[in-house]
Amino acid sequence: MPTFLAFAPIIFLPHAANAAGPDVPEAEKALLDTVDPWGLAFSDQLARFRSYFAASPDAPFAIGITHDLVKVWPTKYWFRGEAVAAGAPALRARERWAAVGETQAFQVAVLPRVGAPEATYTLTVDAPGAMVEISREVFVKTSPDATYPRFGSDRWPDPLLPENTVTVSGTDCGVFWVDVTTPEDGRPGAMECTVSLTDGKATASAVVPIHWVSAGRLDPKAYPFVAWFWQRKLTDAQFRDLCTLALKHHVQPIDALKGRWDSADPSRFDSLRDFLVSRGQRIFEVDHPGDDDPKFDSLYAHLKERSWLANTWVYSIDEPDEETFRTQNLPFKEMLARKYPGLKTYVASDWHEGMQQATDAWMTDLSSSGYDAEARRSLTEPQLWHYYCHLPIHWQERAPLVQAPNMQIDNPALEHRLALWMSHYYGAKLVFIWAGNSYTFGDDFWRSLTLDSKPSGFPYAGVHNGNGWIVYPSPDGQSTLASLRLKVIRDGLEDIALMEAVRAKLSAGAIKGAKAAELEKLLDPRPGVFVHPHYWDHLPETLLARREAILRAL
């Protein structure tokens, strides 16, 4: 006799059908059914946010502290970090470790309570024996037409204004970037940074401890990170200020001397070169010579007379395809070697057979079809350089460019710093970024704070949020401002300087035994920090922990 099984109907009900939404202001109601860029439901965001006020339930705002390797999005409920409300005992933040002579940064978030009215907040930071610089982070609206993988936020922090006040309303937070720098001869040991945030009525406080370690003399510019910067409408004095800003962050404006040679009066050229050298610049690019170019002849004679040829370069024909490489790049290098011996060339290009005859330095993207990171580590002819441009052309990819570390506004901060760790590890002798100040936004930028959605024209293509600049014109157009990306690049170059200083101590036998063995392991970023250029640990804390471990071992 057949057997029949009976099944009771099963009805699946959405979780939300059984949960009443919280009583929140109108602005928050738009967030009730959303998740943050990490995928966290607003219900859990709200629970975390309310916990900041547990020790001071009536406080009008809280202060948040987080590290320097994260981009804090503008929605206050998305903030992740340490926080405490105004009126509560001061927050004691996690201790940072840094090397004497470098800059240790952290970020401070202004977190108004749920439903708080618009208010203006002022930040003060005191760090005995160190220089403190406070910048207000500005959120820009990125183009939704960019097609590369991004976290789901339409606004991202990047421009930095040298201000310690911010006005906040609605669901937004305010964010400050804080640089703490010790002199090269500063004293190692513990320091406590006292951080105070006030709205004029209440105050929230935090203590950020920094432990400074003596690692020897650090030289971040010894590993050149270069970019092209254009003077455009800036006066000579304003352009020098731009160069000073870049060099302060260890970025070398390689092309600053282009267009300045006058054989009748070399002083403008020489004066700017001396100015740049005095601020640490090591490498220079000059104008591209023509076929019969008396002006360049006189420049070459001047460079040779002053013994400046060794660190002077000329850019070859940009991003050549195979035909251009054969018909232009190779003849150009042959002409340069014949007429101007000692003057070197560099070029961004996919790999072509005969590259060593066409250029002295080859700039490659990490994802290029002609680039094998392991096989090219020991490349000497031509010299290996890396470059970060979100839109190379006349090349093919062996792996997705968008899955390697990149330098766009809407890439995680970790990518900008990790890119330098990778370039250093894989033997690149220099890193180039396109570019320093090739802005694609309009004259109304400071009014709209919106990036252009117009795609790059053929043979270029696509929308790239931040490709071409790492500084900003000031709102009045009279000066140049840093970006958050510039700060992260600086931090990466100081990481490399620290690793090189430790490596020098090991090579000199100044560190021996178990400590030396431990440091040798810590100086190798693989596989703990990354495995290869398209596979890495996406937690910024992993890189920061490796850096701290090196300092602790010292």
Shared domain check, 528 and 390: yes
Shared domain check, 231 and 202: no
CA distance 213 to 294: 54
CA distance 336 to 343: 7
Q: pTM for this one? A: 0.95
Q: Which helix (H) or strand (E) holds 107?
A: strand 103-112
pLDDT of residue 285: 98
Pair 321, 394: CB distance under 8 Å: yes
pLDDT tens-digit profile of 379-408?
999 999 999 999 999 999 999 999 999 999
Is residue 14 assigned to a domain?
A: no
Tokens found for residue 209? 């401890």
Helix (H, G, I), strand (E, B) or coil at 290: coil
> Looking at residue 89, what DSSP letter applies?
P
Is residue 6 assigned to a domain?
A: no
Is the previous residue joined to 459 through a cis bond, with omega within 30 degrees of 0? yes
Shared domain check, 180 and 124: yes
Shared domain check, 480 and 402: yes
Is residue 19 assigned to a domain?
A: no
Tokens found for residue 324? 């251009």
Q: Please calculate the CA angle 42-44-46 and round it to the nearest 5 degrees.
A: 70
Shared domain check, 182 and 230: no
Shared domain check, 196 and 234: no
Longest dimension (CA), the chain: 112
Shared domain check, 96 and 176: yes
Which of 197, 213, 229 corresponds to the end of one domain?
213
Q: Is the pLDDT of residue 419 over 60?
A: yes
Mean pLDDT of 220-236: 97
Categorize the per-residue pLDDT at 516 as very low, low, confident or very high, splitting at 50, 70 and 90.
very high
Cβ atoms within 10 Å of 126's Cβ, excluding its own: 11
Tokens found for residue 530? 């990354």
Cβ neighbours of residue 299 under 8 Å, at least 6 residues apart? 261, 263, 269, 286, 287
Shared domain check, 312 and 188: no
Helix (H, G, I), strand (E, B) or coil at 426: coil
Which of 184, 213, 242 corresponds to the end of one domain?
213
Q: Please calculate the CA angle 542-546-552 and round it to the nearest 5 degrees.
A: 135
Q: 61 pairs with which residues across the strands?
A: 112
The phi-psi region of residue 501 (left if phi > 0; otherwise alpha if psi is between -120 and 50; otherwise beta) is alpha
pLDDT tens-digit profile of 39-71?
999 999 999 999 999 999 999 999 999 999 999
Q: Is the pLDDT of residue 461 over 90?
A: yes
What is the number of alpha carbons within 13 Å of residue 481 lying toward its C-beta?
A: 22
Shared domain check, 384 and 263: yes
Is residue 12 assigned to a domain?
A: no
Which residues span the domain enclosing 495?
Answer: 220-536
CATH number at residue 73: 2.60.40.10
Cβ neighbours of residue 552 under 8 Å, at least 6 residues apart? 97, 213
CA distance 484 to 482: 7
Spell out the alpha helix ranges (H) of 126-210. none
Q: 165 pairs with which residues across the strands?
A: 122
Is residue 532 assigned to a domain?
A: yes
CATH number at residue 259: 3.20.20
pLDDT tens-digit profile of 324-377?
999 999 999 999 999 999 999 999 999 999 999 999 999 999 999 999 999 999
Pair 427, 376: CB distance under 8 Å: yes
Q: Is the pLDDT of residue 3 over 50?
A: no
Is residue 8 assigned to a domain?
A: no
pLDDT tens-digit profile of 143-175?
999 999 999 999 999 999 999 999 999 999 999
Categorize the per-residue pLDDT at 292 as very low, low, confident or very high, splitting at 50, 70 and 90.
confident
Shared domain check, 227 and 157: no
Shared domain check, 527 and 508: yes
Is residue 108 assigned to a domain?
A: yes
Mean pLDDT of 283-299: 94
Give me the number of domains the chain comprises: 2
Shared domain check, 185 and 259: no
